[in-house]
Amino acid sequence: MLVVGSVAFDTIENANGSVQRVLGGAASYASICASYFASPAVVAVVGTDFTQQDRAPFVKRGVNLDGLEVRDGKTFHWGGSYDKDFNTAVTRFTDLNVFQNFNPVLNDIQKNARAVFLANIDPELQLSVLNQVKHPSLVACDTMNYWISSKKETLLKVVKRIDVFFLNEGEARQLTGEYNLIKAGRILLEQGVKYVVIKLGSNGAMLVSNKGLVQLPPFVLEHVHDTTGAGDTFGGGFTGYLASLEDWNNLTAIKRAMMIGNVMASFTIESFSVDRLANLSKQDVDQRLEEYVSMLKF
């Protein structure tokens, strides 16, 4: 499974405290999460300030870093803060640094990836990756409001060429001009994507597809430590699980992938950075999945 996106440092402040320059970035959360189900390889760029210690969570989880380019300069660094509800991050600064000139060039092995997760990056770069990969059986893609505002037409070109499209409810409304999320999802299906997954934050996630509609709640936690990376974790777990299947293109598999995405995201929000996510056992994951299934039964 190929994961293309950002590997970054995050500086975060919320009601539980603050951290400086911890591992973040969409590709970090997505690939580390996917490693519990598939064999992910990252394509990203970092600066010379990215140390062996920063690589350690990837190494521990067996994430292939052959595609992690190191350039002279500093690593992408994002800073933000959250109110007590943890739903909305206020960006304090965004230092793109070496990420500003990120241009993913795939090697022959990466071009033959069976599954591809295009994390939240410029749609021009996402198209570039799609033009390089040969015959993937699964392509999933994430985005954000900035790209919808600045490169909507390019993003829609990407949407025509992917299987699964992740976006949150505000982005779905912004991209389609439709407030009703089901109708917004159907508009995106008309663009060519097979499955639209609308992330609902603390309300879970919704699937809109021609095979059916699904809405699943989140895994309920009593204590939330930090929500940074939860959406990227959801996408990584969702795509990683589907990548492990011979036949993923059915509603049963997609619903299971949503469950896994929700459960894996619940681990991420129990700590800053990837600290909790990168240190799970199979028993941890299986037990929480069982608890989640029990929660859904009535």
Q: Residue 67: in which H helix or E strand, if any?
A: strand 64-71
Distance, in Å, from the CA atom of 285 to the CA atom of 139, rounded to the nearest integer, reads 24
Query: The sheet that has 195-199: what strands, in order across it?
Result: 64-71, 41-47, 2-4, 115-118, 138-142, 164-168, 195-199, 205-209, 212-216
Question: What sign has the CA pseudo-torsion 36, 38, 39, 44?
Answer: negative
pLDDT at 249: 96
Burial (0-12, 13-18, 19+ Cβ within 10 Å), 178: middle
pLDDT at 259: 97
pLDDT at 37: 98
> What single letter denotes the amino acid at residue 199?
K
- Tell me the pLDDT tens digit for each residue of 62-96: 999 999 999 999 999 999 999 887 877 889 999 99
DSSP 8-state secondary structure symbol assigned to residue 248: -
pLDDT at 274: 98
pLDDT at 7: 98
| Residue-wise burial string across 30-47, b where 16 or more C-beta atoms lie within 10 A, e elsewhere | bbbbbbbbbbbbbbbbbb
For each of the domains in the chain, give its residue range(s) and CATH number, in order of start: 2-296 (3.40.1190.20)
Q: What is the β-pairing status of strands 2-4 and 205-209?
A: unpaired
| Tokens (6 digits) for 143 | 């985005």
Which of 25, 36, 26 is closest to 280 using CA atoms?
Answer: 36
Which of 79, 41, 48 is closest to 63 using CA atoms?
Answer: 41
CA 126 to mean position of chain CA atoms: 14
| 3-class secondary-structure state, position 223 | coil
Residue 14 β-bridge partners: 17
pLDDT at 98: 97
Which residues, other chains included, contact 274 with Cβ-Cβ below 8 Å and sequence gap of 6+?
23, 28, 29, 32, 57, 229, 268
pLDDT at 163: 98
Asked whether 186 and 161 are in contact (CB, 8 A), the reply is no
**Helix count (H) and strand count (E) of the chain?**
11, 13
Half-sphere exposure of 77 (CA within 13 A, CB side): 15
- Whole-structure pTM value: 0.96
Q: Count other Cβ atoms within 10 Å, centred on residue 236.
A: 38
Asked whether 154 and 175 are in contact (CB, 8 A), the reply is no
In the chain, which stretches have pLDDT less than 50?
Answer: none
Distance, in Å, from the CA atom of 69 to the CA atom of 80, rounded to the nearest integer, reads 25
Which of 242, 224, 294 is closest to 82 using CA atoms?
Answer: 224
Distance, in Å, from the CA atom of 126 to the CA atom of 220, rounded to the nearest integer, reads 33
